[in-house]
């Protein structure tokens, strides 16, 4: 089976690919890789990818020409789209009926809603599923409304984007002002009440209006946490695989509301992130419209969402479409570091666009 995997410069597409190559026995896989950056390590991991391409950004006018050329050249069966911006572009094109091959994608409306974390938070506020929050622009001069609502201990981050972009635990107005100034790339911020409990993730796989699979995990520590003022880099180094059906209930309650509000079908893969308060009550901090970087750890524990995704897209007649929450061996943890050995090569051999 020939599969296109985009954005292989990021850890999530590589993790997805490892989950297929190492833990899936459904079929033999030939993976074709793309990324916009010729320095992306994944482009040169020949043990994962048989062919790699540097492609234009998904917003570029020539993007689809290049994608269609790759699909035709390699007779691609399925595409796995993981960078958020590409997910949104592919979702829009899917709704136009113009995809060059099959891909499991959410609706464009719910994808856009979830990328905007401030909008998502506002929509879920009435259900008491998110922490008290305030969105503000970087041009804001008076932060009194933020501190009046949240006190002097809250979490601030970019209102869009991933990997903890622009995130910091704030303890006073001076630190907030300084943080805004040293993050010029962030246009709008979302401040949320600080929650001291566990950092949890619930994975949900929907297909044609039904929830098919779910699983839960906990992020405990992060790779290279010391280099980020927040301690969060978006890449988990130590985590736990959990059996928590009540967390799935909360996650699906939120997704039901978001599907309804956006008028979107229950379709696609989502990772719902939670933080618990001091009493152990989980609140949603964001929802990713894709797999996340430790998906291979779930696969190693018996929850191979990568294989599930492929089998569903392939129309496997032996796949069980009845709902299942993956359950793990009690006490099962995972440890990760930077996931790959270095690649030595000449600079002249870097791939080039066109």
| Residues 234-283 pLDDT 10s | 788 888 999 999 999 999 999 999 999 999 999 999 999 999 999 999 99
The pLDDT of residue 304 is 97
The pLDDT of residue 228 is 66
CA 173 centroid distance within chain: 31
Q: Are 26 and 47 in contact (CB under 8 A)?
A: no
Is the confidence at residue 14, as pLDDT, over 70?
Answer: yes
Is the confidence at residue 341, as pLDDT, over 60?
Answer: no
Judged by average pLDDT, the poorest of 5-19, 234-248, 336-350 is 336-350
Instruction: Work out the average pLDDT over 8-36.
Output: 96
Query: Is the CATH code 3.20.20.80 the one for domain 132-193?
Result: no
Give the residue ranges of DSSP H helices in 30-76: 63-74
Is the confidence at residue 79, as pLDDT, over 80?
Answer: yes
188-193: strand order across its sheet: 133-137, 188-193, 154-158, 168-170
d(CA 211, CA 314): 18
Instruction: Work out the average pLDDT over 152-169.
Output: 76
2-6: strand order across its sheet: 49-54, 30-35, 2-6, 78-80, 102-103
- The answer to whether 2-104 and 132-193 have equal CATH topology is no
pLDDT tens digits, 296-330 = 999 999 999 999 999 999 999 999 999 999 999 98
Is the confidence at residue 152, as pLDDT, over 80?
Answer: yes
Q: Are 168 and 179 in contact (CB under 8 A)?
A: yes
Is the confidence at residue 135, as pLDDT, over 80?
Answer: yes
- b/e sequence 254-280, b meaning 16+ C-beta within 10 Å: bbeebbeebebebbbbbbbbbbbeeee
- b/e sequence 38-48, b meaning 16+ C-beta within 10 Å: eebbbbbbeeb
- b/e sequence 144-167, b meaning 16+ C-beta within 10 Å: eebbeebeeebbbbbbbbbbbbbb
The pLDDT of residue 138 is 87
Q: 338 or 133, which is more confident?
A: 133
The DSSP bridge pattern shows strands 282-288 and 268-276 to be antiparallel
Q: Are 287 and 118 in contact (CB under 8 A)?
A: no
- Residue spans per domain, the chain: 2-104, 132-193
Query: In whole numbers, what is the pLDDT of the chain averaged over residues?
Result: 92
pLDDT band at 340 (very low <50, low <70, confident <90, very high): low
Integer CA distances (angstroms), 112 to 159, 274, 284, 287, 290, in order: 13, 20, 17, 11, 13
Instruction: Work out the average pLDDT over 3-21.
Output: 95
Q: CATH topology for 2-104?
A: Rossmann fold (3.40.50)
């Amino acid at each position: 089976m020939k599969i296109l995997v985009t954005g292989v410069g990021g850890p999530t597409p590589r993790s997805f690919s490892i989950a297929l190559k190492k833990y899936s026995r459904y079929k033999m896989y030939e993976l074709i890789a793309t990324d916009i950056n010729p320095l992306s390590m994944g482009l040169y991991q020949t043990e994962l990818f048989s062919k790699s391409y540097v492609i234009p950004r998904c917003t570029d006018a020539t993007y689809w020409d290049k994608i269609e050329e790759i699909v035709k050249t390699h007779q691609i069966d399925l595409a796995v789209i993981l960078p958020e911006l590409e997910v949104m572009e592919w979702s829009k094109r899917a709704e136009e009926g113009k995809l060059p091959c099959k891909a499991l994608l959410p609706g464009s409306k719910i994808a856009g809603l979830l990328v905007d974390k401030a909008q998502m938070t506002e929509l879920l506020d009435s259900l008491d599923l998110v922490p008290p929050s305030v969105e503000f622009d970087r041009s804001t001069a008076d932060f009194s409304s933020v501190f009046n609502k949240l006190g002097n201990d809250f979490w601030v981050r970019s209102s869009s984007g991933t990997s903890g972009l622009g995130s910091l635990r704030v303890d006073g107005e001076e630190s907030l002002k300084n943080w805004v100034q040293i993050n010029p790339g962030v246009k709008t911020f979302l401040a949320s009440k600080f929650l001291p409990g566990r950092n949890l993730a619930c994975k949900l796989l929907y297909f044609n209006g039904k929830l098919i699979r779910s699983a839960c995990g906990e992020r405990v520590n992060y790779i290279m946490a010391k280099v980020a003022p927040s301690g969060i880099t978006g890449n988990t180094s130590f985590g736990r695989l959990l059996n928590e059906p009540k967390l799935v209930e909360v996650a699906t309650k939120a997704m039901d509301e978001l599907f309804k509000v956006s008028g979107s079908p229950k379709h696609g893969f989502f990772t719902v992130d939670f933080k618990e308060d001091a009493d152990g009550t989980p609140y949603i901090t964001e929802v990713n419209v894709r797999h996340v970087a430790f998906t291979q750890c779930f696969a190693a524990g018996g929850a191979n969402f990568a294989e599930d995704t492929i089998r569903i897209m392939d129309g496997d007649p032996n796949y069980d479409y009845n709902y299942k929450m993956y359950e793990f061996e009690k006490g099962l943890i995972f440890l990760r570091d930077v996931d790959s050995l270095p690649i030595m090569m000449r600079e002249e051999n870097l791939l080039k666009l066109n």
